[in-house]
Structure 1
Amino acid sequence: MKRILFILIAAAAVFASCNDYETYGDKKEKERNAIAKFISDSSIVVISEDQFNRQGQTTDLARNEYVKFDKNGVYMQIVRQGCGTKLQDGEKTRLICRFSEYNLLEDTITLCNNNNELYYYGKSVVKMPDIMQISRTGSSFTASFLSGIMYSVYKSAAVPSGWLVPLSYVNVGRPQSADEEYSMVRLIVPHSQGHADASGNVIPYFYEITFQRES
């Protein structure tokens, strides 16, 4: 009797384990639902790339517009166009990036370097901007982190592909006067365009990022 009971308990444990197992398809469905919920909760108006191009590659902040790029699934809102010029074909430079990262599955901020009240191993995160080395060839960008909070926490120089999407549309200058501002964007980045942790665990993230030239 004890042997039979043990077998039944073991079988139940295996069954529960199987029920808890998530396929990649299950995880992608959770990701789609999390993105849809965030869009709904944030009253975001999604526009097509055609509309985005018709209105001069801008997003209407008053309507809380985000453009969705069909090729990669990234959603983008341009908050500030920024001063200076766009990164030119054949150009290589360094950018200073400040951001906040929000996990859409867990509904929480996971990382940032734009809040002077937060510290990382005793060091204020605002003193840890991410320095990105980037080059442009045609419409393609290649980039890597040299230092910063993303580089330190995720232990990788790889820049999420989603971060590079805005650089075709915003300027990356360095403010020279009080009336000039660096560019700012907001992004919804699916796991396929995120960092290794995002892609490995099928996690979509929301970002608010600023870009400016290092010099």
Structure 2
Amino acid sequence: MAVGLLGVMTFTACSDDDSYAERRDRERSQISSFVKNGTCQISEDGDTLLYVAPITVISEEQFEAQDSTTDVSKNEYVYFESRGVYMQIMEKGSGDKLEDGDTRTVLSRYTELNISSDSIQSTNNNSSYANEPEVMTVSNSSGTYSASFISGLMKSLYESTTVPGGWLVPMPYIKLGRQDGNPIAKVRLIVPSTEGQQAALGDVYPCFYEITYMRSR
């Protein structure tokens, strides 16, 4: 499987007769199945590209009681009901959080899986994009986060500077440091179409993401 190139895009076709409500119902079923079963993506050479075990879902209340952490050994994901997003914090990172009133340039590496088709749709975690991370500006205004892509695969692939809302859900909980021998923030997300990129929003399909975040110099 070749991933990370424009030709990898595998969007889900829907019948013109499907109502939006029917598409959303199907999307919720796809997410439920993904949570229950996970996925394993194998390359043509037999290498594991992405493995997600069956997920243990915890509430926001439990997440807060655990000091805003998810137990990776139990494959815990917190479910944010108001957003429909599931999040696992694999590494909180080093450095500082994005404080109120701050704007920073953030660099990201990611893998995007189309849950509907159970296939990797795009990734910049390969040699083709070794020098091309996602570059975005992220702002915090009284706890409301906004962001725009400056450059990277997501911007060119979906022809939009809009950062998916789901990508910003981790911001209150992670630190934006530099690598420099220190761990950088890393999360996994299940993102419904309503919090996703332009194609997902239009065609109504959910995506799974593994993303790292660090500040630019």
Query: Normalised by the size of structure 1, how large is the TM-score?
Result: 0.85
Name the CA shift for 1:140/1:171 in 2 (closer, same or farther; >3 Å). Answer: same
Which of the two has higher C-alpha Rg? 1
Matched length:
188
| Cα offset, 1:125, TM superposition | 2.1
SS at match of 2:177: coil
1:126 Cα offset (Å): 2.5
In the alignment, the residues of structure 2 paired with residue 142 and residue 39 of structure 1 have an alpha-carbon distance, to the nearest angstrom, of 28
1:68 aligns with 2:79: yes
Partner residue, 1:147: 151
Q: Counterpart amino acid of 2:94?
A: C
Aligned-pair CA distance for 1:20: 6.8
Please provide the CA RMSD for this pair: 1.1
C-alpha distance in structure 2 between counterparts of 1:194 and 1:126, whole Å: 24
- Map of 1:172 onto structure 2: 176
Match of 1:182 in 2: 184
What is the 5 A alignment of 1:58-207? 58-116=69-127, 124-176=128-180, 178=181, 180-207=182-209
Question: After the TM superposition, which segments of 4 or more aligned residues of structure 1 sit over 4 Å from their partners?
Answer: none
Task: Pick closer, same or farther for the CA change 1:132–1:29 going to 2, 3 Å.
Answer: same
* 1:195 positional shift: 1.2
**Pair 1:47-2:58 in alignment:** yes
Deviation digits for residues 11-39 of structure 1, max 9, x if unmatched? xxxxxxxx872111111111011101111
TM-score, with structure 2 as normaliser: 0.84
The percentage of aligned residue pairs carrying the same residue is 44
| 2:30 alignment partner in structure 1 | 34
Q: Which has more helix, going by share of residues?
A: 1
1:85-110 CA-partner distances (Å, limit 9, x unpaired): 11011111100011000000000000
Question: Which amino acid counterpart does residue 62 of structure 1 have in structure 2?
Answer: S
Q: For structure 1, which runs of at least 5 residues remain unmatched after alignment?
A: 1-18, 117-123
Unaligned runs of 5+ in 2: 1-14, 39-53
